[in-house]
Amino acid sequence: MAYQLQPFQSIPLDESLLELLIEEHETIHLPRLQRLWNYYRNALAEPDDSGGSTGAPAQSAGLPARLTEPRGLDQDERQIRQVVIENDIAWRVHTLVDFMFPAAPKIASTAADPQARAEIEQLLETILEANGGVALWQDAALLGSVFGHVDFLLDCAGLGTVPLQRRSTGAAPSKPPLDDLADRVGSKVAIETVEAPRAIPLLNGADYRALDAYIIHYRKPVNEVQRPSMLARLSRAVTGRGLPSGQRASVTVTEIHSASNCQRYEDGRLVAEAVNRLGVLPVVHIQNLSQPLVFAGLSDVEPLIPLQDELNTRVSDRANRVTMQSFQMWLGKGIDGFTDHPIGPGQMWVTDNLDASIESFGGDADSPSERAHLEELREALDKASGVTPAAAGHIKARVGNLTSENALRISLMGTIAKIKRKRITYGGGIEALCGLILHALDVYGLFRTKPGDRGVQIVWSDPLPVDETRRISDALAKAQLGVPLSVLRAELGYAEEE
């Protein structure tokens, strides 16, 4: 491919470095990231003609060969080992996402002027709602939890089409109302959630936390039909199998973003190029869990993979043991035609052999060591993930004699601690994204702000249910101490007009 990278020579980024970054990503990083997604998703194999699956789910890749590899072409079906997959990863990831973002966090401006704060908060709320609201944060939390990090890419090209009706903080009433501005720019700012398999960061040589450029590389299907080659059509005509008459075509997309320019290539051909008016790289990087001295964060899935493989192995072994022991079997000695007649009520065998006998064996039996091992594996998954079954609502009467709220907080202490740690990195990313949006509105002349007025604070909602009676009594106690009523109403979730 011949890339035209003249606008990025100040980084520097040349064609050989770009191709090397793409090759390293596809050969080293992408297989690892795909493995994390496969263990989270545990997708089923393609369906067969009978309605079943052509193979085991994705997590079967971690099972030992004795459970997955055939023992020979003449293998009896009764010797095929059963494979059981119990996905204990997905529900833990979903629980973490639910605890992280039970609702959209409140964005509170830190601007000094009260009017500016109200205007900034209204603008940010409108733009974020237009990009999905709480679904935007939940999607980012899911991708970050699986891959270890997630990025937001801000596309402000639509702001250039908004009429320049200037609106500054503290403007005169004759200016257009803020509601009109919010409606006009809300859908013009696009926030794209970029998952790790598509992202290739070009880190600064002096600071691993800074980006010189941001590359997005992936395959994209297009609305065209790709016809098979002559050889494929000939093979299909001879064997009756092969590719259908056509398949959906796809292109390789490569996007390069820097603080000054952005380019888009399709199959190595430059199809779009623009100047970045923001003057800064429009990318916000969020680590799922902070990892020192490394750009990428820590995944919630990766430490669970070895334990998940062991759990699936032992559950499959238990299924095979139950299959062997759950059915009564008989050993007949010295009886002619013993195998020709089924065993059932009223059956009788006659023989002149005095040494003939029928012995029964099999039947399910308790296995305490197996049961203990499975319980220990699930407890290890609880400790490694920080998510216990109680977090998903499976209490098992282990709450004790404490009050309900205290009992929940104690039983979910590990989950709450992990959520607080994750909210540090995600909260910092949301603050940086809001500051970048306000900077873009200022650059395009739609809403003027000073750099010191672009700071925000994230007000998180409590992931656990709160007793309303206790909240009201606490508010009354604070009122007696002199806390302003406006502050108390905000803490209780009531607006001033309410």
Partners of residue 245 on adjacent β-strands:
none
Q: How many CB atoms lie within 10 A of CB 140?
A: 28
Kindly state whether residues 473 and 393 are assigned to the same domain: no
List CB contacts of 142: < 8 A, sequence separation 6 or more: 93, 94, 97
Domain residues for 494? 469-498
pLDDT tens for 303-325 read 999 999 999 999 998 888 877 77
Kindly state whether residues 462 and 473 are assigned to the same domain: no
**Residue written as token pair 């833990």:** 92
Mean pLDDT across the chain: 84
pLDDT average, residue stretch 462-467? 71
List CB contacts of 290: < 8 A, sequence separation 6 or more: 297, 298, 421, 424, 425
Sequential DSSP letters for 113-171: SHHHHHHHHHHHHHHHHHTTTHHHHHHHHHHHHHHSEEEEEEE-GGGGGS-----BTT-
pLDDT tens for 400-425 read 554 556 666 777 788 888 999 999 99
Distance CA 193, CA 172 (A): 37
**Residue written as token pair 């009788």:** 348
Nearest to 431 by CA among 419, 423, 420: 423
Q: Which range has highest mean pLDDT (26-35, 318-327, 347-356, 477-486)?
A: 26-35
Kindly state whether residues 200 and 110 are assigned to the same domain: yes
Residue 164: inside a domain: yes
Percent of the chain as helix, strand, coil, to the nearest 5: 45, 15, 40
Tokens of 474: 């606490």
Q: On the CB side of 170, how many CA atoms lie within 13 Å of its CA?
A: 7
**Residue written as token pair 């139950």:** 322
Residue 462: inside a domain: yes
* Cβ pair 118, 409 in contact under 8 A: no
Using omega within 30 degrees of 0 as the cis cutoff, is the peptide bond preceding 173 cis?
no
Sequential DSSP letters for 280-306: S--EEEEESS--TT-SS---SSGGGHH
Residue 104: inside a domain: yes
From residue 96, alpha-carbon distances to 91, 388, 420 in Å are 9, 11, 11
Kindly state whether residues 494 and 432 are assigned to the same domain: no
Kindly state whether residues 434 and 423 are assigned to the same domain: yes
pLDDT tens for 18-32 read 999 999 999 999 999
Residue 193: inside a domain: yes
Nearest to 285 by CA among 218, 211, 216: 211
Strands (E), 294-386: 328-333, 357-362
Kindly state whether residues 396 and 481 are assigned to the same domain: no
pLDDT average, residue stretch 185-193? 90
Kindly state whether residues 451 and 491 are assigned to the same domain: no
pLDDT average, residue stretch 378-394? 85
pLDDT average, residue stretch 470-498? 76
pLDDT tens for 272-294 read 999 999 999 999 999 999 988 89
Residue 313: inside a domain: yes
pTM here is: 0.83
Residue 195: inside a domain: yes
Q: Please calculate the CA angle 50-53-59 and round it to the nearest 5 degrees.
A: 170
pLDDT above 70 covers what percent of the chain? Answer: 84
Kindly state whether residues 390 and 487 are assigned to the same domain: no
Q: Is the pLDDT of residue 242 over 60?
A: no
> For the chain, what is the domain count?
2
